[in-house]
Structure 1
């Protein structure tokens, strides 16, 4: 094996199999390959460096504070597709017992790419032409249950801070891959949502939006690049809110954070559902007891499967994906909370 790793190799690893080819290529270019001899340490117990570590060749073992062997991982094992001891700080030290090739990936970069990819799926449905009245878009926003948790002064400030933009058919309001800068609401007109893929670089139609619909929030919440392109179909007008105003006026009031010690009693009593929005393979490797898995990529299509009478406590490994997921669910009327520190923090405290 050379000094680089290929996208094809990354596809065999969890959760990298959930990332699109373009982002996989970027991850591959930034990944670090380490070749370690017998007895060398991959990481030590208590290490808090945010890295996903995989063994690509050879064998390593996990040892506790008493130098006892807790597990062995060989590149040929099925468990080698998962990162080694992911909770931070590390619970064990990792030592090479057969010359090994180790892959190290920046966890923050990986998390951003997972969030970017998994928030890019819109539920495709037929839309009916909405009213084009100047006040209709405001009424539709205010009827959204998510806005019921926002102080009236914030809502008033939101409308006052919004800029109004006239648009023409064919105008690209946001473009896939660009940095997020505004949250948008369609006042008048219709827009097309498309997403480019490796096989369809011109873009696949995901949905059509109409007066009263909003878009652009996910890149602002997760601090990611745009995951789709929005193109106007009809002449119209938009209202937009800057990223800073969106975070201060809308996102922060809608984000309720809970420690695991606060969340667990609610789940145990049946008052809440602990919803893990990571990919199935991530969930299978490690999860909090009693949690339910619904990957964020399917959230828009399958949110009706959730019990709306219960609180929904959303979790992922770090909190980035769960914050975006909680916003999506809050927009749909759910009483949502985010697990503070994510699953990694919960498992490291276990």
Structure 2
């Protein structure tokens, strides 16, 4: 019921086209080494540490390309060493940016679409961070740290870890200020049942400290442990999105601390950014461009009727099998009414997939003779 496998957007912004291939280095930046960069200089010690943790470091040889003019990518580049040439067009004289100079204290060609093509004029190293993660970090650090400390009574480091989590990368920055004011802290003892299979859902949960076991009973059999969740994992969203009873029981495996969000706040703050809907006409255009219908009904329902070329992955199996999906492909989730498809889109959106929901579900499509 929680997200344990996540498609990391840090890897996405690190993969780019290069005339000379770049190497992504397996190193952790020292936070203080980033203090002289803007806007990182506005972050607190905690925020700067989280920024450093979210970054990747790339090394390029002479001629390596960072980005091209006109691109609308999601990467922010900070020049750590070397010299980069920025060209607005092939015939123009390049603008050179050298590390440790005033010009290098700001990100390289920050505006999108890119106004320049950036080429390594010498061997260079750059720090790369996703622009949404950076924006969320800056917003939380500058506007909500005091509020969160007031709510929790503790250091807000957990807040920054949540913001840096790729599962929340699509949440608008301004939503975090409200989110942290609406989250309720719950201290829970060992063995506490947090949600029970078959009951109606009312809260969305984030594990802040501790672990929880997920148990599921099938067809009246005894419950079986199917997963264990840890700090940073979430659960409870399926019942809120689908309107169906809880499909598993979650029990604390030791004392811990949870943050919970009421359904009304969940629907307002988290659901819209992660559940995007498209009408059948738009869906058909997307499929023509390479998207795939993902039918999240049961296998028996899928056999009864389905859209051509759709793939069946029942909602109950989605967490365990999501990693088998192609992260480069866009998916359109479908079910009869759209409720289960919404839950699936939320789960996949948390894992970094490009996903939307077929508005209204399958029934109107088949009633209109579009099968």
Category of TM-score, reference length = shorter chain = 0.5 to 0.7
SS in 1 for 2:307: coil
Q: Does 1:175 align with 2:190?
A: no
Contact 2:2 2:233 in 1 (8 A): no
What is the distance in 2 between the residues matched to 1:278 and 1:174? 23
Contact 1:121 1:206 in 2 (8 A): no
- What is residue 240 of structure 1 aligned with on the other side? 260
TM-score by length of 2: 0.55
Instruction: Show the 5 A alignment for 1:61-210.
Output: 135=156, 137-197=158-218, 200-201=221-222, 203-210=223-230
Q: Deviations over 1:235-263 (max 9, x none)?
A: 22111111110111101221111011001
Distance verdict in 2 for CA 1:298–1:121, change over 3 Å: farther
Match of 2:342 among 323, 326, 335: 323
The CA deviation at 1:289 is: 2.2
Match of 1:306 among 279, 304, 325: 325
TM-score by length of 1: 0.59
Q: Does 1:259 align with 2:279?
A: yes
Contact 1:189 1:210 in 2 (8 A): yes
The CA deviation at 1:136 is: 5.4
- What is residue 41 of structure 1 aligned with on the other side? none
Q: Deviations over 1:105-164 (max 9, x none)?
A: xxxxxxxxxxxxxxx79989xxxxxxxx96554344323334222211112211110111
Contact 2:292 2:330 in 1 (8 A): yes
- What is residue 332 of structure 1 aligned with on the other side? 351
Q: Deviations over 1:189-226 (max 9, x none)?
A: 1111112345544x211111111111111111112222
SS in 2 for 1:265: helix
Q: Deviations over 1:11-35 (max 9, x none)?
A: xxxxxxxxxxxxxxxxxxxxxxxxx
Instruction: Show the 5 A alignment for 1:31-42.
Output: none
What is the distance in 2 between the residues matched to 1:280 and 1:135? 44
How many pairs align?
Answer: 221
Q: Deviations over 1:76-128 (max 9, x none)?
A: xxxxxxxxxxxxxxxxxxxxxxxxxxxxxxxxxxxxxxxxxxxx79989xxxx
Return 5+ residue gaps in structure 2 as ranges: 6-153
What is the distance in 2 between the residues matched to 1:143 and 1:161? 19
What is the distance in 2 between the residues matched to 1:223 and 1:339? 17
The CA deviation at 1:293 is: 2.0
What is the distance in 2 between the residues matched to 1:149 and 1:253? 6
What is the distance in 2 between the residues matched to 1:225 and 1:281? 20
The CA deviation at 1:345 is: 0.9
What is the distance in 1 between the residues matched to 2:221 and 2:198? 15
RMSD: 2.3
